[in-house]
Chains A and B, each alone.
Chain A
Amino acid sequence: MSAPILELDNIFTDIAQYHILHGVSLHIPEGGVHVLLGRNGAGKTTTLRTIMGLWQAKQGAIRFRGEDITKQHTSDIARKGIAYVPENMGIFGGLTVEENMRLATLDGSFDQDRLQRIYTLFPALEKFWNSSAWSLSGGQKQMLAIARAMIEKRDLILIDEPTKGLAPAIILNMVEAFREIARETTILLVEQNFLFARSLGQTVAVIDDGRIAHSGTMAELVEDAALQTRLLSLSLDAHQ
């Protein structure tokens, strides 16, 4: 394995009086798509929020390119080249599509090449460029959320369940988009949808009850039906 771009070392996170993560360790290699699988409430979202500094880890260390970012401010973490697409997409509904995109640029100006690539991937965004974001459909909002993460060159993109509630056709569009992004950026994808995850992921970690229950390559997990059943019985039932 190459040197990890992101490393979580025995992370514990509490929310109010609840202990959510009890010792999560992850190694995300540079390049490609890496998947964090787990059922509802397993701690997937908490892991991403802890990486972004939106919740503070009580114990443990998070290293990005070897640098400890555990205690850093969210905005500083973002400026190191980490983008975050939350589960609720974090779209600013009162702003236009253009304003949403402009906020995601660091200096307020667009890189035209990147913009063209986004338009090609998601033509709807060009069409509704000057409309309010709240008028977009759910799928279009997800496109906008991902486009925001693409408008600048990032080193790592954290994406929380992008397929939730989307139609199959749009999910195919997402697969294409993620392949495109993964050519220049590392993606850490949190998913419940194993079919979607396995079409993209190179490595996979399974989180359960705030701990990593398994980690390895995606190919291993795809071939080992028994392991799948043991780790993912609940979430797989829904899709097979």
Chain B
Amino acid sequence: MKSMTTLVERLGGINLLPVLLAIIALVLIGSPSTWLTLTIAGLSMGMMIFLMASGLSLVFGLMDVLNFGHSAFISFGAFIAASVLAALAVWVAADSVLLNLLALFAAISAAALFGLVAGWMFERVIIKPVYRDHLRQILITMGALIVAEQIILAIWGGSPVAVPRPNFLSGSLIMGDVTIEIYRLFAFGLGLVTYMALHAVLNRTRVGLLVRAGVENREMVEALGFRIDRLFIGVFAVGSALAAMGGAMWAGYETLITGAIGSEMMIIVFIVIIIGGLGSIEGSLLGALMVGLMGNYVAFLAPKMALASNMILMMAILLWRPYGLRPAVK
């Protein structure tokens, strides 16, 4: 038994949970080709959710601030990307990969830029007055979320908005029985690159070192001569930009978005950071992949239970590890 435990540890410990989930799903689903399609869908969905969740998790870790308005950045990101793609419709539909890429790049950058600027303002206006007061933090950020959602409804209206998908990303790869949407591969790739970039910044740069230290012990970082509050604004803005990016990617994935996109994703994001543990991007990635996989498998096996299954997963993990799978060291 003990050697079994060490073997599991050596192979990656709790990082194996998504693999375990995939194996169980393979048994239940039976058909390998269906399973592969679902797995790829789950992984790419997980990566997009990771983008949305990582910022929230870091913001909480660093400043003990939980922003219930985080999903507003997801929604705005989605709608801004949709508008940019619609405005660049000629490039989007063009037969040139370069023009397609340019349009996509413009859409995602516009969303991210908005997240960066709006996140910075949001931190100054909404969050700063209520540092260290959880009750008012929850209430005020919730109020801000309501206002933001209403602004979205006022600007883009209540009816669904179509999101044009760049030409080279539409369509699927077909390998035997397996159909893979190209967009999913792209989303997975972009998410992975973002994760690696974040990981590198956190582990290889001085700012990253300060963030990791600050998540553990904010006071000590200040006692060493650094301003955590200034660092925090930066992390907040970047976290918001990542959420907007995630929203933009999600818009392209769904191709039809409504004002409810933010609150729908918010639930998933909360489930992810509770599963993963607050304050670490590794935890967010692990949680996001599990939730993405679980959502897709269950949507196939028992469509009505997709969201509830993730809720059950969260409850089970809370029972097992009350602080989540990989929380930051506190």
Name the B residues within 8 Å of A90 (CB-CB).
217, 219-220, 223
Residue of A nearest to B221 (CB): A103
Given known A-B contacts A73-B227, A92-B216, A92-B217, A78 and B222 have beta carbons under 8 A apart:
yes
- A110 proximal to B (CB < 8 A): no
Residue of B nearest to A107 (CB): B206
A64 to B295, CA, bound (A): 59
Name the B residues within 8 Å of A94 (CB-CB).
212, 215-216, 328-329
Chain A CB count within 10 A is highest, among B213, B219, B224, B227, for: B224
Name the A residues within 8 Å of B228 (CB-CB).
75
Say whether A103 contacts B209, CB under 8 Å.
yes
- A74 proximal to B (CB < 8 A): yes
Name the B residues within 8 Å of A69 (CB-CB).
none
Mark interface residues in A65-108 (1 if CB within 8 Å of B CB, else 0).
Answer: 00000000111001100011010001011110001001110101
Given known A-B contacts A92-B212, A92-B216, A94-B216, A78 and B206 have beta carbons under 8 A apart:
no
A136 to B144, CA, bound (A): 45
- B210 proximal to A (CB < 8 A): yes
Say whether B209 contacts A75, CB under 8 Å.
no
Say whether B225 contacts A78, CB under 8 Å.
yes
Name the A residues within 8 Å of B222 (CB-CB).
54, 73-75, 78
Residue of A nearest to B279 (CB): A94
A84 to B222, CA, bound (A): 10
Name the B residues within 8 Å of A75 (CB-CB).
222-228
Q: How far is the CB of B219 from chain A (nearest CB, A)?
A: 6
Name the A residues within 8 Å of B217 (CB-CB).
90, 92
Name the B residues within 8 Å of A92 (CB-CB).
212-213, 216-217, 220, 329
Residue of B nearest to A152 (CB): B225
A15 to B52, CA, bound (A): 38
Interface of B is mostly: helix
Tell me which of B213, B220, B329 contacts A86 (CB under 8 A).
Answer: B220
- A52 proximal to B (CB < 8 A): yes
Tell me which of A74, A102, A134 contacts B329 (CB under 8 A).
Answer: A134
A48 to B323, CA, bound (A): 32
A75 to B225, CA, bound (A): 4
A162 to B208, CA, bound (A): 29
Residue of A nearest to B220 (CB): A90
A104 to B220, CA, bound (A): 10
> Using a Cβ–Cβ cut-off of 8 Å, how many residues does chain A contribute to the interface with B?
23
Name the A residues within 8 Å of B213 (CB-CB).
92, 95, 99, 103
Residue of B nearest to A105 (CB): B224
Say whether A93 contacts B206, CB under 8 Å.
no
A62 to B217, CA, bound (A): 25
A84 to B228, CA, bound (A): 17
Q: How far is the CB of A88 from chain B (nearest CB, A)?
A: 9
Name the B residues within 8 Å of A78 (CB-CB).
222-225
Name the A residues within 8 Å of B212 (CB-CB).
92, 94-95
Tell me which of B206, B221, B223, B328 contacts A108 (CB under 8 A).
Answer: B206
Name the B residues within 8 Å of A93 (CB-CB).
216, 329
In B212-257, which residues have CB < 8 Å from any A CB?
212-213, 215-217, 219-228
A113 to B103, CA, bound (A): 55
Name the B residues within 8 Å of A83 (CB-CB).
223
Name the B residues within 8 Å of A95 (CB-CB).
209, 212-213, 216
In B100-149, which residues have CB < 8 Å from any A CB?
none
Tell me which of A73, A99, A104 contacts B224 (CB under 8 A).
Answer: A104
Q: How far is the CB of A93 from chain B (nearest CB, A)?
A: 5
Say whether A52 contacts B209, CB under 8 Å.
no
Chain B CB count within 10 A is highest, among A74, A84, A104, A108, for: A74
Say whether A54 contacts B226, CB under 8 Å.
no
Given known A-B contacts A54-B219, A90-B217, A92-B216, A106 and B209 have beta carbons under 8 A apart:
no
A52 to B225, CA, bound (A): 10
A99 to B202, CA, bound (A): 12
Name the A residues within 8 Å of B227 (CB-CB).
73, 75
Q: How far is the CB of A158 from chain B (nearest CB, A)?
A: 9
In B186-226, which residues have CB < 8 Å from any A CB?
206, 209-210, 212-213, 215-217, 219-226
Say whether A86 contacts B223, CB under 8 Å.
yes
Say whether B329 contacts A103, CB under 8 Å.
no
Residue of A nearest to B328 (CB): A94
A93 to B217, CA, bound (A): 10
Point out residues on B near A: beta carbons under 8 Å: 206, 209-210, 212-213, 215-217, 219-228, 328-329
- What are 11 A-to-B residue pairs whose CB atoms are below 8 Å? A54-B222, A73-B222, A78-B224, A78-B225, A90-B220, A90-B223, A92-B213, A95-B212, A102-B206, A103-B213, A148-B224
Point out residues on A near B: beta carbons under 8 Å: 52, 54, 73-75, 78-79, 83-84, 86, 90, 92-95, 99, 102-104, 106, 108, 134, 148
9 tightest Cβ-Cβ pairs between the two chains A and B: A90-B220, A78-B225, A94-B329, A74-B222, A84-B223, A79-B225, A93-B329, A92-B213, A75-B222
Beyond contacts A74-B219, A74-B222, A103-B210: 6 other A-B pairs, Cβ-Cβ < 8 A, are: A73-B227, A75-B225, A86-B220, A93-B329, A95-B216, A99-B209
